[in-house]
Structure 1
Amino acid sequence: MRRVTTLLSRLSIRWMLAIWSSILLCVLFLSYNGVQYFVINRWMLHQEQIALHKNIEEIQGYFRAENETAEGIAGSHSFIESINGSHQLIRILDARGKPVLTASAQLPEEWVKPQVSMKTTTDSIWHEEEHLLIVRSPLRTSKFNGTIEIVNNLESSDQLSDLLLGVMIAGWLGAIVISGIGGVFLSRQLLRPIQSLRDTMTSIKQKGLQERVRISGSNDELAQLARVFNDLMDQLETSFYSQKQFVEDASHELRTPISIIEGHISLLSRWGKHDPMILEESLNVSVQELGRLKGIVNELLELTRAEEKSRELYDFPCIANDTLQYTLRNFALLHPDFHFTQNLDDIDGAVIHIVPNHLEQILLILLDNAVKYSGSTRTITINGAVQESRLHISVEDCGIGVPEEDLPLLFQRFYRVDKSRSREQGGSGLGLAIAERLVARYSGSITLSSIPGQGTAVTLSFPVVEELQNH
């Protein structure tokens, strides 16, 4: 048994499914045929018993009506012959068990010994290879007391039973073959998507993440599994290439300040530390680059926090206009040479689900970009509106604008339209990426439109808390 278990454990799922399905079908077929064979045999035996009991009742009725004596019964041979069947023996015994009348049709008397019975009995015995059914019943009249004995050879019933058994065995063997072939075909059909999934995984291991499982037109569970796998691979491929691009961009952005600091430190180490002017210049540049390096690291940490899926503070209600006014007042103090125009009356009292600090951080990113790229026109416009249960906030500048082909790329990490000018203005290219992820975290959206030379507008949209909307 252990060897069989070990052998089965080494088989593939395909062959295990084929074998077990074949075994199950064979067991079911065998059980059904066995029950059917048993029931049919019992039914045929019962029918033979009913026929013999009817013969006995007919004999009893005849002799009781005639009130026959032993001599009269012995002379009724023609009547007994008329009701006797093929391969059957009818015998009437007196009270001492001596045969008074015997009628036999191809069944020797010596096969069954005479036996007196005081009640109706039914016996099934074997005489060598012959199966015999014996029914005995008492026969009583006013002039005779004895026993009716009928013996029937069940040869015809046994032949029919053997034929039925042969047909069932042939059918069972045919079921084994058919179930085996069907099991192999069924397992092949069922496991084809899994084999395709396995082949795709192997191909992904060898060729890369671009491989996908081929899906047929079916919509069963295995096809759904293949679709889920393809979706996961799409997300994984996107995440992998995004991570690769992020590492490349981050390493590029971090390499520049590190290289500048390294160059000035090497300069000081060789001979510049003895020259006060060079010493001061190198220290100033190093401090600036360290500040820039620190800013990039902090923005990377902010980006990581923005990408987290934690929603612990999601249910925090925020009155949008209050946060906007607070942020604008503080930001205007830092940029007194700019004019900030507000159109926020329509959003007065509107409440959204967002942590106020996060909304303030998003607004500061948008306002900071607007100031950096405003050019000579130092006017920033902030508009607010509530439409279809959503709060819309837009920050517009009248600056240099963004080319249309660069608009889809602005939310990528470290992307900058004019890298030289952005570097001079201290940008790292992470602000809009952080803003986009914070907005998405609260079921919002952010869109950007721009006309080169005329300005840029960034619009935020958040769902409004309806039960607090009119408060």
Structure 2
Amino acid sequence: MMRWIRTFLPRSHGSIRWKLTIWISLLLITLFIVYNIVQYFVINKWLIDQEQKSMEKSMNEMEIYLQEKDVSAAEIADYRSFMTKFNQENQMIRILDQEGTVLLKVTDRLPEQWVEPQAVQKRVLINAWHYEDHLLIMRSPLITTNFSGTIEMVTNLENTDKLSDMLLLVMFCGGIAAVGLSILGASVLSRQFVKPITTMNATMIQIQQKGLHKRVDVPDQHDELTNLARMFNRLMDELELSFQQQKQFVEDASHELRTPVAIIEGHINLLKRWGKHDPDILNESLDVSAQELTRLKTIVNELLLLSQAESGHIAMEAAVDLRQTVQHALANVVQLHPDAAFDIHMEFISGIEVKILPQHMEQILRILVDNAVKYSPVTKEIRVQGIRRDNDVCIQVTDKGMGIPAEDLPYVFDRFYRVDKARIREQGGTGLGLAIAERLVKRYNGLIFIDSRVDEGTTVTVLLPTSAS
């Protein structure tokens, strides 16, 4: 069966729709055939059982009547009219003596020679065949005071067999119709089943030809294939956003790298033309080139760190004491800003452990503190405090600087984004710091968010889960 199915399935065009059509059709046809076979045998057995019950009823009535009359062998022939009343169409009734000799015979279109007479000591029921005729034979002993013999009743199940044959014919014709309806229904069902997949496939082809903006039309349903279409649209949204971010990143990175390279190239050309013998021009060009090389190195290092943070190549180590880790990190960061005043409060997070690499905690704090100092051109007062919130811990860095406009807040974590590009460029910013901090915090299942008001200051909050949670 399985070999026939594999042979029937088209090899080069074995689409899911055709496979579903064939399998559903086979399932429905098999169920219909099994049901009809069971139904045929059940009905056929019921019909024969009814014939048996009718024969048993007639046999019992004849036995009781003859026993009550206490018939003798000589009187048997006198009961022909009585036996005729019990005899039905295609039936024969005989009364035999102990030797099997027929004493009385009543028949209706059933030849006597089809069944050999036979005396019995107990009631028996026999299914027999005379060529194509199905016979049901019942023999029962007849015992009275003056007689001992056998009542023999034979029924030709011709009408029952005709009914069974007609039933079989109807089932066969119904089976042929069921095959057609099964194939048609399976085709319709399979088309409905694979419609979202077909639509998705067509959308993929359009995406391949025209771009990532195409989406699958999702029907207002709640099944697995519809959920698959919705998931496909969500993935395409994320993929399109990822491509847009990659494109923007390449453009921004190219722009950021092009500027120092152009400056270095300009000073090298200047030295080639007439600066090699002018000490002032030589020193100025070397100083500028060294600064731009440092800037290039910073950008490249931050891009590598950002790539590592986004790719997830961070080994989760054992939990560390957050207060000690933050204080150690701040001790190194504070040294880089001797002109700023720091107000540090870590007593509220004493004894709290967090799973984070110490160097990453220091990197996050350095970025936040650097930004706080850069955005505080006048009042360089920086407050760093730790707060416990349920199963999480907060590290807040607050300044009293220039603040961030509300329209810029949604974009401050984008790569190379600057609120004040001219001012930050003068201070050496690359626009990658907050992007790196956000990726690092997210890799440790944390959150980072900013609350800022123009000319009042900015508070950056880092929320990390404790090791207990």
| TM-score computed with the length of structure 2 as normaliser | 0.87
Q: Cα 1:71–1:441, aligned 2, differ >3 Å: closer, same or farther?
A: same
Q: Secondary structure at the match of 1:227?
A: helix
Residues 347 and 386 in structure 2, CA contact (< 8 A), matched pair in contact too: yes
Q: Distance in 1 between matches of 2:165 and 2:142?
A: 36
Q: Cα 1:215–1:274, aligned 2, differ >3 Å: closer, same or farther?
A: same
Overall identity of the aligned pairs, in %: 51
Shift of 1:266: 4.0
Deviates more, 1:326-335 or 1:292-301: 326-335
Letter in 2 for 1:85: Q
Residues 448 and 461 in structure 2, CA contact (< 8 A), matched pair in contact too: yes
Residues 314 and 442 in structure 1, CA contact (< 8 A), matched pair in contact too: no
- For these two proteins, the number of residue pairs brought into alignment is 465
Instruction: Name the counterpart of 2:452.
Output: 450
- Tell me, yes or no, if structure 1 residue 263 matches structure 2 residue 266: yes
Shift of 1:84: 1.7
Letter in 1 for 2:262: S
Among 140, 147, 151, the residue aligned to 1:148: 151
Among 389, 393, 396, the residue aligned to 2:395: 393
Alignment of 1:84-103 (within 5 A): 84-94=87-97, 97-103=100-106
Among 192, 202, 207, the residue aligned to 2:205: 202
Q: Cα 1:157–1:332, aligned 2, differ >3 Å: closer, same or farther?
A: closer
Alignment of 1:47-86 (within 5 A): 47-64=50-67, 66=69, 68-86=71-89
Q: Deviations over 1:231-274 (max 9, x none)?
A: 22222222221111111111111122222333333444556445
Q: Distance in 1 between matches of 2:173 and 2:290?
A: 95
Q: Distance in 2 between matches of 1:195 and 1:44?
A: 52
Gaps of 5+ in 2: none
Shift of 1:193: 2.2
Gaps of 5+ in 1: none
Shift of 1:431: 0.7
Q: Distance in 1 between matches of 2:101 and 2:14?
A: 72
Instruction: Name the counterpart of 1:461.
Output: 463
Q: Distance in 1 between matches of 2:63 and 2:404?
A: 119
Q: Distance in 2 between matches of 1:182 and 1:96?
A: 66
Q: Distance in 1 between matches of 2:239 and 2:369?
A: 34
Residues 91 and 101 in structure 1, CA contact (< 8 A), matched pair in contact too: yes
Instruction: Name the counterpart of 1:426.
Output: 428
Letter in 2 for 1:369: N
Q: Distance in 2 between matches of 1:348 and 1:61?
A: 107
Instruction: Name the counterpart of 1:157.
Output: 160
Shift of 1:416: 1.6
Q: Cα 1:53–1:345, aligned 2, differ >3 Å: closer, same or farther?
A: closer
Alignment of 1:146-295 (within 5 A): 146-269=149-272, 272-295=275-298
Residues 399 and 457 in structure 2, CA contact (< 8 A), matched pair in contact too: yes
Deviates more, 1:409-418 or 1:46-55: 46-55
Q: Cα 1:460–1:65, aligned 2, differ >3 Å: closer, same or farther?
A: closer
Alignment of 1:275-424 (within 5 A): 275-309=278-312, 312-313=315-316, 315-320=318-323, 322-424=324-426
Q: Cα 1:155–1:424, aligned 2, differ >3 Å: closer, same or farther?
A: same
Q: Secondary structure at the match of 2:339?
A: coil
Letter in 2 for 1:8: L
Q: Secondary structure at the match of 2:308?
A: helix
Q: Distance in 2 between matches of 1:335 and 1:144?
A: 134
Q: Cα 1:151–1:259, aligned 2, differ >3 Å: closer, same or farther?
A: same
Residues 352 and 463 in structure 1, CA contact (< 8 A), matched pair in contact too: yes
Q: Distance in 1 between matches of 2:138 and 2:293?
A: 116
Residues 382 and 396 in structure 1, CA contact (< 8 A), matched pair in contact too: yes
Shift of 1:314: 5.7
Residues 98 and 114 in structure 1, CA contact (< 8 A), matched pair in contact too: no
Shift of 1:23: 1.9
Q: Deviations over 1:371-412 (max 9, x none)?
A: 223213333333443345543333233333333322222211
Shift of 1:430: 0.7
CA RMSD of aligned residues (A): 3.0
Residues 400 and 456 in structure 2, CA contact (< 8 A), matched pair in contact too: yes
Instruction: Name the counterpart of 1:22.
Output: 25
Q: Distance in 1 between matches of 2:162 and 2:4?
A: 42
Shift of 1:140: 5.5
- Tell me, yes or no, if structure 1 residue 109 matches structure 2 residue 112: yes
Letter in 2 for 1:244: K
| TM-score computed with the length of structure 1 as normaliser | 0.87
Residues 102 and 117 in structure 2, CA contact (< 8 A), matched pair in contact too: no
